[in-house]
Structure formats: C-alpha cells, structure tokens
Amino acid sequence: MGSDPQYASYPNLLLSQHIFTLRTPSLSAYHPAANKALTASIKEASQAPLYRYLAHPTDGILSSKIVWDEKYYEELKKSNDAELEVLDTEIKESDEKAGESEVVEAMGKKAEFFARVVDKEKALAAYEELYVKTPTLGAKIDIVLAIIRMEMFYDDKAGVKKSVERARRLIDTGGDWDRRNRLKSYTGLHLLSCRQYAEAAPLLLDSLSTFTSTEICSYSTLVLYAVLAGTISLNRVDFKAKVIDSAEVLAVLGSRSGGAVSADDVEMIDAETEDTEGYSSLESLVNSLYLCEYKNFFVALADVEERFLSRDRILSEHKAWYVREMRRRAYAQLLESYRVVGLESMANAFGVSVEWLDRDLSKFIPSKKLNCTIDRVNGVIETNRPDDKNRQYQDVVKQGDQLLTKLQKFGQAVRLRGSERA
C-alpha cells in the first residue's frame, strides 16, 4: 500500500473554479457565491499573493470583481512574513541541531505555506528544493503531484504535461499502488483539459473504483468527467460495459438502472448527495444515446451543456467542440443502420426541423466525418459506407509501390558500389 500521501492539502483547487466563475460573464448568477468563497478563503488562510493576483488595480485578473484594499493587503502580507520567518527559523535550527528528516519536515512546511497562500513561483521553487533533500521515492512522487496541482490551479497545461511525465517516470521505478492510481486521476484531468477525451476516458473510468485523489476533485465530479469522456470516445460495446453498466457510475446515476445497488453504493451516494444536483440530465444523456432515443438525447445534451459544460473550468474551454461531436456521434449511430433514410423522418427522430438538420449535417459531410450525402430533391439521406476490402486493397498497393521504389533505389546503390570496386 505504501506510506500515506504527503503535501496533499494545498492549493485548494475549488478556488480556481470560483475564479473561473467570476471571470465568466454568462455565469453572473453565481458571481456572488464565488466572490464570497474567494474573499473568505483569502481572509482565513491569509492569502496575500492570491489577493494581489486577483484584486490588484493594475495587475489583478478580477480587479473589477474583488475590491482592492491596500491596508488589508499589507496586513495579510505582514501575517505571511511573520509566519515565513518562523518557518525559516525552524529550518535553520533543524539544520544546526537535528537530523536530515527534521530538516526535510521543516522544508515541507515552508513549501506547503507557499502552496496555501497560492504563490506559484515561490511554491514551485520550494517544492524543488524539498525534492532534492527528500530521500524516499514515495515522498518525491507526492512532491511532484503537489507541483502538478499548483500548475493546474494556474491552468499551466505545458507545465502539467512535463510534471505528469516526471511523476510517471518516478512511479515506473517503483511507485506504490495508491500513488499509481492517484496519477491516473491527475493524468485523466490533464488530458481532459487538453481535449484528449479518448485518452482520458480509460484512465478516468479505471480511477472510479480506486479513487482517493479528493485533493483535485470530488468523487461525483470524477464520475461526471469519466462519463462525459467515455460517452464521446468509446465504441458501443465498451460504452455499455464501462459506462452504462459500471457499478461506480450507477452508484451516482443509477436511478434508472433498474438493477440492484449494493450497500457500498448506497453509502457512496449518500456521501455525494450534495454534489449530484442535475446529474439526472447526465443519466438521461447516456441512456438516451444508448437506447437511440434521439429526441431525448438532444434535450439532455442541451441540459448537460447548460449545467456542466458551461460551468466547469475544465470542460467549458471545449464545450462547443464537445456538443458538436456528440451530435455527430448520434447522427452516425442512426445512419449506420440505414442505406437510405428520409430527411424528414430523421429530423422528426431528433426533434428538429428539416432545414436545421440539413444545415447541421452539412457541417460534417464535407470533412468526411459523416459518410453520407443529402438528396434534397428526393428528401433523403444516402449513406456511403467506406468499402473496407477496397480500402485494404488500396493500402496494399500503395505499400507495395513504396517497397518497390525502395528496392529499386537500393539496387541502384549496389550497382554503383560494384562499378566503383571494378
């Protein structure tokens, strides 16, 4: 199992969600609650660097939302300086009078202090110094995970990518089971933020049964991410097995499952009740897609966009792409069953007008994302499935031509060398 994770308390990633909410004009209804949460955190944790980052009149990213008070900032900074002085004294005394482990412990407190007040540069520097001094592999992995969270807070995707690779290399040298599973969740969230849903889905779905990374999101939020990633990327068989019939998913979305829910699942539902408001629309989305109830699917998709995609800091960046791809997936699923389908019939199935469907399908057909053509004269859609055997034959011919070209070049080179020897 390995040692318990260290340095997992800070930064509080919920604060980054509140920052996103305040920066999004369309979420103005939630601005008062987000403002209250941020100002309360700044006061309780004496987060002078975060207060300056958000509210400074010239540099603050939320200067129009959070009031800047120079006197209040100086009070917070004075409190930070006093706490930092105590930590520096502890490090110095440990270095002079105690052993290596006490020095590492004191340095860990300093790194966590910077993470708590959300000072990115100083926190990353302190964690790097701590990393050099730390002797154990498990603690080194925990430090890198803490670095990842700080980079996630500031949406530093390039930094997160490098740190995830760094953590993976450490874990490959002998990381324990718990840290391997935690890295799965971290990696899945990072891939989701980079629109790599197909790569994120297996990691997030695998994490559901072993999830312990509550420092990056709640369990119900992980279920949301896993379901959305799996719905858009898995084939129908895997979608049924890993999403529709998943015990972990049913524990949160299982009101329509019709199956038995275990005592453990009930306990999980109770623990997450406050986080699952609106999850019925997510349940409707996955069920209606699988059951081919396309009119209900479109309604659920609109609701999921409103409730989750637009409000979540990780999902919102790609919401337009996600909604578009989900429509394409539903169209492709219906068309797969027919050689020819009436345009009006398909429009009725999705609950939209013929004109709207025509325009929407036209966005996917030219780029070959849907293998069909629209015949408006006869009012039908004709599918033109790619011929796999013909494609394989063309691939063999192409590869054969490339091989012959290489052999001819090789033969010419051999003849030239032979003439030189002669």
DSSP state string for 304-319:
HIIIIITT-TTTGGGH
How far apart are the C-alpha atoms of 251 and 5, rounded to whole Å? 26
Reply yes or no on whether the pLDDT at 271 is more than 50: no
Q: Terminus-to-terminus CA distance in the chain, angstroms?
A: 70
Residue type, 36: K
Q: Encode pLDDT of 360-371 as tens digits.
A: 999 999 988 998
Query: How many whole angstroms separate alpha carbon 215 and alpha carbon 269?
Result: 19
Taking the C-alpha atoms of residue 159 and residue 127, their distance in angstroms, rounded to an integer, is 14
Q: Which residues contact 212 (CB under 8 A, 6 or more apart)?
A: 5, 178, 181, 182
What distance in Å separates the CA atoms of residue 161 and residue 188, rounded to the nearest whole number?
11
Q: How far is CA 173 from the centre of its chain?
A: 26
Longest CA–CA separation in the chain, Å: 92
Q: What is the pTM of this model?
A: 0.84
Domains of the chain with CATH codes: 7-135 (no CATH), 307-383 (1.10.10.10)
Cis-peptide, bond into residue 11, ω within 30° of zero? yes
pLDDT tens string 165-215: 999 999 998 878 889 999 999 999 999 999 999 999 999 999 999 898 999
pLDDT digits (tens, 9 = 90+) for 25-54: 999 999 999 999 999 999 999 999 999 999
State the pLDDT at residue 278.
Answer: 79
